[in-house]
Structure 1
Amino acid sequence: MQDVPRALGLDFGTTNSVVAIATGQQSDLVEFAGSQATGAVFRSALCFWHEEGVKGGLAHEAGPWAIAEYMEYPEDSRFLQSFKSVAASPIFESANVFEKRYRFEELGAMFLNRMVGHAGGALDQRPERIIVGRPVTYAGSRPDEALARKRYDAMFAGFGTDIHYVYEPLGAAFSYASRLTQAATILVADFGGGTSDFSIVRVEAPGAARRATPLGSAGIGIAGDRFDYRIMDHLVLPMLGKGGSYQSFGKTLEIPRSYFADFADWSRLALMRNRRTMDELARLQKSADEPAAIGRMMTVIEKELGYPLYDAVGSLKRALSADESAAFRFAGGELEIETQVSRADFERWIAPDIARIEATVDKALATAGVTPDAIDRVFLTGGSSLIPAIRGIFDARFGADRIATGGELTSIAHGLALIGQEANLAEWAA
């Protein structure tokens, strides 16, 4: 009889989710199976569509299978991504999907169910002890941590019987600590889609009775999604009417900025595709000084162009991590954009965000009671850690020789599973 895995680590991310299972001192990633599978990385996305014979009349998919379904039938489906970002929002009550409303925990449970279904049987028999990553600070302007915990508990109620939550950067720290051969104080910086989180951990030499001790953490709700929106705000939204004006009772007024706020998260565009919003935009178009711009915005919403639009934004962001200049190209509906963007422009757009992230690093050091000189190693993880302006924060503060990278998308899940086997688990739990 095979040994039953002792712990499962789940990095439920804003953009991607990853699962690892630890047995003994080894933590192995779960690979997903099927034609749309992308290895161990499972996109944190859901797609809904009408289907006869399905209970409730709505079928759904998750992960890369959700993307494939949406791309084939964009106008007949509803696509949701980054729903983790509303976990702590007291404003969010439910998402309108066609004629149904879904609470956060319902979306989460459906997502987990389909993730298990695509794991090729690897998640059918899960260990009792499950370690779920959570951000140090949740996304949103006024996040309610107690509300997020309540929603997470409901989401994972059917996933396991012994659920524990651990700060995501602590998972990455434990993963990195497993590689070290000598004692060190490490700072882990985890840059996800919705949050940037930092944890400081003291690691003892291999063989020590207690290998690692968490010292302090800090986080901020600024990360990859915010950087995407900066590109959107400067390159795309002016073509959709932002900054423009309309006429009302003899007065010239600015186009309401509330319409463009939903473009901060492209998955929210699907929720704008409702009769009330589209009727409002149709009336606005008639009185706008540039009606064609409002028409382009309506096309983006009606034709479900949010995904390809933000896909183009993401491609530009990644290209600028490697090159000093890159082309932004998008064509869809009545909107066509092709322009060259410099890394200097992008860094200027995100400069306020970089400053706030740097201040959060200072907060993490203060919480742990250490100075920059006391940090022996810095481990950068998460997709946005590849952005040169992000890397520059740590090069300037700690020196390039102390910085390590790797496992940008998988290190958190790997470490969470290993933490699940710790005797002092309560000290790691958030």
Structure 2
Amino acid sequence: MTPPPLTIGLDFGTSNTVLALAPRGEPAHVVRFRHEGRHASDSSAFISALCFWEESVAGGKRTRNEAGPWAVEEFLEGLSAHRFIQSFKTFAASATFQDTRIFGAKYRFEDLLAAFLARVFAHAGVDPAQAALVVGRPVKFAGGNPDEKLAMERYRSAFARFGMGEARYVYEPVGAAFFYAQRLRHDATVLVADFGGGTSDFSVIRFEGRDGDRRARPLGHAGVGVAGDAFDYRIIDKVISPRLGKGQNYKSFDKLLSLPTHYYANFARWNQLAMMKANGDLKELRQLARVAVDPEPLERFIEIIEQDLGFPLYRAVSQAKIALSSAGEAVLRFHEAGVAIEERITRAQFEGWIEPDVERIAGALDDALTLARTRPDGVERVFLTGGSSFIPAIRRLFVERFGEAKLTASDQFESIATGLALIGREPDLDRWAAH
């Protein structure tokens, strides 16, 4: 079977999306997205975000949208009303998410995904209808009660709009495993651990070579809806939210009451803070600030919402988390629009905060080994991918299970997409597809 002239590997992630291309007869490579705006960037990681806004045209208004770094700049710099949506992959398997209203129009998940994909392909300069597409999917979708069948129906509906109803879907860690397998020179049982923004996925795969043909036999897959975003939120909950009033009191007649905690749950996704302007939360916070025992923290919270500071706040949190991967302590510094938060965090504190998350990740890892009927000593190599794989507590989990010598790592963004694009060249795609 002749391979297609171009195969595309798409790693649509909770936080970032990566696109890899494998032209026939040429090496696979990832697409770099060069954004020249005020917040200039040049990266293979295309932030999984959308921004919608209205423009005046003859006879009324029209809704426009952008994605990735262009969406972030529009959100931060735009003068008109906007609607910013990030990490919407977390809604893929949610039956409770039916649609959202954007400037009066109804958008289902598949509408959001199709709008996002249109901008990704446009900025990449790629016509997906002229290529074979292999799409990564998590082993376990995010959410409390994820509906896998619903998620895949939504994926297929979105891709069908580009004439790609025949797209193949491969577990994300299998894509990473295929990328890694190009280095193997002997048969091996490989464990791939993929840490994304919303999920942590594990696959155990047996690679065997026969007559120059490398074959893979999936042995077991497992995953859990805990990953990088959850670690960020732990820092926010322990460091940021108390500085914004969480745990403090307000006066109601002659009673002293605790400030409601549900406002602080919005920090689970930084773009949810912008929604507080329109849903009544901001008005309620202003009222609470008038009767708070200490109004200053709530005034900081109000300033963050009013000035749309969620994005720079999460960037500061992420930088502190990354620093803790290579140092015993880090300082979280946030100075924007009159709001100043600065606090030292030790690695020991951070590891204590994320301990429940690490335990859940360890449980999913053990599930993958159990399903594969493989003990840790039966795994020859462990391939770690994703930003959270650099967190010492996560790496320690794998060292304790498998030993340092078995561990290897790769680019935290590019391995899955590249592996997916290479899989697209395979003569029998069905043996790689998720079923």
Q: TM-score, with normalisation over the residues of structure 1?
A: 0.92
Q: 1:141 to 1:189 in 2, by over 3 A?
A: same
Match of 2:139 in 1: 136
Change (3 A) 1:39 1:293: closer
Deviation at 1:89, TM superposition (A): 1.9
Shift of 1:13: 0.6
| Superposition deviation, residue 75 in structure 1 | 7.9
Query: CA 1:102–1:303 in structure 2 vs 1: closer, same or farther (change >3 Å)?
Result: farther
Partner secondary structure for residue 330 of structure 1: strand
In the alignment, what sits opposite 2:218? 214
Counterpart contact for 2:9–2:424, Cα < 8 Å: yes
Q: Which blocks of at least 5 consecutive residues in structure 1 are unaligned?
A: none
1:308 pairs, out of 305, 309, 312, with 312
Structure 1 residues 75 and 412, CA gap change in structure 2 (3 angstroms): same
1:114 equivalent to 2:119? Answer yes
- For residues 428 and 293 of structure 2, the distance between their equivalents in structure 1, rounded to whole angstroms, comes to 64
SS at match of 1:190: strand
- From 81, 86, 106, give the equivalent of 2:86: 81
Is 1:337 the counterpart of 2:338? The answer is no
Aligned to 1:27: 28
Preserved CA contact (<8 Å) 1:44 1:63: yes
Q: CA–CA distance in 2 between the matches of 1:103 and 1:260?
A: 26
Aligned partner letter, 1:304: D
Distance 1:264 1:53 in 2: 36
C-alpha spacing 1:292/1:97, structure 2 compared with 1 (3 Å): farther
Q: Match of 2:402?
A: 398
**What does the per-residue CA deviation read over 1:303-344, in whole Å, with 9 as the maximum and x for residues that have no partner?**
111000000000101111111111110012442111221111
Q: Does 1:272 align with 2:276?
A: yes
User: What is the CA-CA distance between 1:273 and the residue it aligns to?
Assistant: 1.9
What corresponds to 2:194 in structure 1? Answer: 190
Which residue does 1:8 correspond to in 2? 8
Instruction: Tell me: CA distance 1:96–1:315, structure 2 relative to 1, closer, same or farther (3 Å).
Output: farther
Further displaced range: 66-75 or 413-422: 66-75
| Cα offset, 1:204, TM superposition | 1.2
The alpha-carbon distance between structure 1 residues 95 and 302, as it changes in their structure 2 partners (threshold 3 A), is farther
Please tell me whether residue 93 in structure 1 is matched to residue 94 in structure 2. Answer: no
**Structure 1 residue 247 corresponds to structure 2 residue 248:** no
Tell me how large the CA RMSD over aligned residues is.
2.2
Matched, 1:178 2:178: no
Cα deviations by residue, 1:331-386 (Å, 9 ceiling, x for unpaired):
12442111221111111111111111111110110011110010000000011111
2 CA distance for matches of 1:53 and 1:74? 16
Structure 2 distance, partners of 1:306, 1:95, is: 21
Kept in 1, the 8 Å contact 2:45–2:413? The answer is yes
Q: Gapped runs of 5+ residues in structure 2?
A: none
Q: Confirm or deny: 8 A CA contact 1:75 1:303 kept in the other structure.
A: no
Distance 1:161 1:187, change over 3 A: same
Note the alpha carbon deviations across 1:75-98, whole angstroms, 9 max, x for none. Answer: 853332211112112232334445
1:34 shift after superposition? 5.1
**Shift of the alpha carbon at 1:24?**
4.6
- Higher mean C-alpha deviation, range 32-41 or range 129-138: 32-41
Alpha carbons of 1:18 and 1:56: their partners in 2 closer, same or farther (altered >3 Å)?
farther
- Counterparts in 2 of 1:118 and 1:206: CA distance versus 1, 3 Å: farther
94-103 vs 363-372, which moves further:
94-103
Which residue type is aligned with residue 96 of structure 2? I
- Deviation for aligned residue 1:58: 2.6
Q: Which residue of 1 aligns with 2:168?
A: 164
- 1:184 positional shift: 0.5
Q: What is the rounded CA distance, in whole Å, between the counterparts of 1:71 and 1:19 in structure 2?
A: 25
Q: Aligned to 2:70, which of 50, 65, 68? A: 65
Equivalent position to 1:203, from 193, 207, 232? 207
